[in-house]
Structures are given as structure tokens and as C-alpha cells.
Amino acid sequence: MKIAVLSRNSTLYSTKRLVESIKSRGHEAVVLDHLLCDLIIEASGPAVYYKGEKVEDIDAVIPRIGASVTFYGTAVVRQFEMMGVFSATESQAIVRSRDKLRSMQILSGANLPMPRTAFTNYSKEEKSLIEHVGGAPVIIKLLEGTQGLGVVLAETRKAAQSVVEAFHGLKARIIVQEFIKEAKATDMRIFIVDGKVVGAMRRTGMEGEFRSNLHRGGSAEVIKLTRIEKSVAIKAAAALGLSVAGVDMLPSSRGPLVLEVNSSPGLEGIEKATGVDIAGKIVEYIERNQPKKRNTAKINA
């Protein structure tokens, strides 16, 4: 097979590991910067050109689409899908996961446990908004934030009201979320491939830091999940239609709570913490679905 990794940087750990795994299993690997892809749409059928050359004979793509380029990146994935190319992560699933509000609505509709969350259209009732999630302290998040950026812990009601007012004054879309004190700056990242848990780690924030993101200096260690934790993670990925996903969950007194489901989870932290060849698991998933040219007339674009 010829498998394309859609990535803006071929030197990134995740991209390099995917290329290594593709080649080690006897396939051909190419890295395509999705922002350099031109999409041709005409009566004879869709096509993709890369740096002036028509892209042909691609059997599958592995999207590594950054949050800042979701619109164009998912358009490229969708173009490949319309050409009958198998995608490890479907374009519409990426779109669902990137819209934090929509993804939480879907997870809630699937009756998955999650921190209580409130959203409003620039309401002046900041006090009511805070009370809806159980009062201070609360977490306030920008809907467009990633890797822990745009996330604020407001420890008092007055501080929370001030932060909400400031964001609303800037016309920034935010959500207000229940603070889970007993999590103690830890969370779980569970990696799902094809409906199965292939790796799990506990992430712990730096001293004095309430966010556990590894990008912000947090540490990671391998963990063994409970049956309930596995079940919740698998159901969360399935609810968003993600075959490859990183599910972030918080431990709480009422059980695991889903924070977010990531459609382009990094491989470095999870592989180093668990020692599992996650990249190889993704390639194996593609192998199980090849050769399988899809009927483009049935694709839900």
C-alpha cells in the first residue's frame, strides 16, 4: 500500500513514527503538507495536486491536522475520501471533535459522564452561569483553546465573574466548567484505535499548576484502567465517530469524567509512557481496512 501522512512537519515525533511503522510493515510512506495541497473539483471527479503534481495511487491517509488549520485540513481529507481513499480518521469526525461545544453536546446526548458545563451567548448573568456548574472555583475555557492554552482557573465567584466579563467583552466564546478538586491536577489520556484501548497514561501537572498537559511541563506514567474507565473511553470515541482518538478523562468521586476527545492525539507521550507501538496499531488498523475502495456516491460530505 501507499499511505500518506497528512502533516505540516515531517520532523515531528508523531509523523516520524508513523512513517517508520508504515515502512517497517512493507508499505510505501509519503508525507504531504495538507496546506500545500490544491483541491480540484470538476465533473470528471475530484483530484488533489501537491506542489503542482497530481497525487495518485494513494491507498490510505493518516490525518495529522492541527487545530489552527481544521477547515482546510478537513477539506483535504474529505477530498481524498471523495476519491475513494481510506482515511484513518474521517473528516466529519475531526470536525465534530474540534468544535468543543458540539462535541460536548454529542457526549452528553450519549449519556457519558462529564464535568457540568455551561455556555451562553454573551449573557450578562455571569453569576447564574457560575452557579449552574456548582459555584466557584470554576474552570473557564476558550472554545478555540488547545494544549491547555485559553484555560483559566477562577478560585472565587468574584474572580470568575471578572474573567467571564472580560472574555465576553472581547466577544470570545467560552464555556464555564465544574472544577473537579479531587482530580488534584491529574487526568488520564486513553488512546483508542478501532474501538479498542491500545494505551493509557496518567498525566500530572507541575507543582502549582492545575493543568496536566505535557506541553505545559506535566509528567506521565503508565496506568491500568478499570473496566468502567475503558468502557467510557471507548464509548466517547465512538460517539464522535473517531476510529483513532485520544480521550482525556478526569478521576472524580463519582467516577471517570470525559473532558475532551482529541482527533489528532500526539504519539510521543503515550508511546514513551507505555512502551506500546501506537503508530504500529494505527497502521494495522489501516491494513484491516484495505484494499477497500469506497463508493464515493454514498459518502456523507
Q: Domain count of the chain?
A: 3
Calculate mean pLDDT across residues 197-222.
74
Q: Please indicate whether residue 96 or residue 216 has the higher confidence score (pLDDT).
A: 96
Confirm whether 290 is domain-assigned.
Answer: no
- Of the listed ranges 74-83, 119-128, 161-170, 204-213, the least confidently predicted one is 204-213
CATH number at residue 160: 3.30.1490.20
Mean pLDDT for the chain overall: 89
Confirm whether 58 is domain-assigned.
Answer: yes
Rounded Cα gap, residues 260 and 67, in angstroms: 14
Confirm whether 221 is domain-assigned.
Answer: yes
CB 189 within 8 A of CB 257: no
Indicate whether 130 and 87 sit together in one domain. Answer: no
Confirm whether 98 is domain-assigned.
Answer: no
- Across the beta sheet with 86-87, what order do the strands follow? 28-32, 2-6, 60-63, 86-87
Question: 206 falls in which pLDDT band (50, 70, 90)?
Answer: low
User: Of 78, 93, 108, which one is at a domain's C-terminal end?
Assistant: 93
Residue 105 confidence (pLDDT): 96
Residue 292 confidence (pLDDT): 53
Calculate mean pLDDT across residues 100-112.
95
CATH number at residue 87: 3.40.50.20
CA separation, residue 273 to residues 57, 225, 237, 244, 258 (Å): 36, 14, 21, 18, 21
Residue 250 confidence (pLDDT): 94
Calculate mean pLDDT across residues 244-254.
95
Residue 161 confidence (pLDDT): 87
pLDDT for 132 beyond 50? yes
Residue 165 confidence (pLDDT): 86
Percentage of the residues of the chain whose pLDDT score is greater than 90? 67
Percentage of the residues of the chain whose pLDDT score is greater than 70? 89
Residue 121 confidence (pLDDT): 78
CATH number at residue 222: 3.30.470.20
**3-state class (DSSP) for residue 230:** helix
CA separation, residue 250 to residues 188, 204, 226, 300 (Å): 6, 11, 13, 33
The answer for residues whose C-beta is within 8 angstroms of residue 148's C-beta and 6 or more apart is 211, 213, 215, 216
Residue 291 confidence (pLDDT): 59
- Highest mean pLDDT among 12-26, 133-147, 277-291 belongs to 12-26
pLDDT for 123 beyond 70? no
pLDDT for 297 beyond 50? no
Confirm whether 288 is domain-assigned.
Answer: no
Amino acid at 235: K
Residue 295 confidence (pLDDT): 46
What is the domain extent for residue 7?
Answer: 2-93
Calculate mean pLDDT across residues 8-19.
97
pLDDT for 148 beyond 50? yes
Calculate mean pLDDT across residues 62-66.
96
Indicate whether 89 and 143 sit together in one domain. Answer: no
Confirm whether 107 is domain-assigned.
Answer: no
pLDDT for 263 beyond 90? yes
Confirm whether 277 is domain-assigned.
Answer: no
> Does the pTM of the predicted model rise above 0.85?
yes
pLDDT for 82 beyond 50? yes
Q: Please indicate whether residue 149 or residue 246 has the higher confidence score (pLDDT).
A: 246
- Highest mean pLDDT among 131-140, 141-150, 236-245 belongs to 236-245
| Cα dihedral sign, 80-14-242-149 | negative
Rounded Cα gap, residues 32 and 40, in angstroms: 16
Indicate whether 175 and 225 sit together in one domain. Answer: no
Residue 296 confidence (pLDDT): 46
User: Of 179, 200, 231, which one is at a domain's C-terminal end?
Assistant: 179
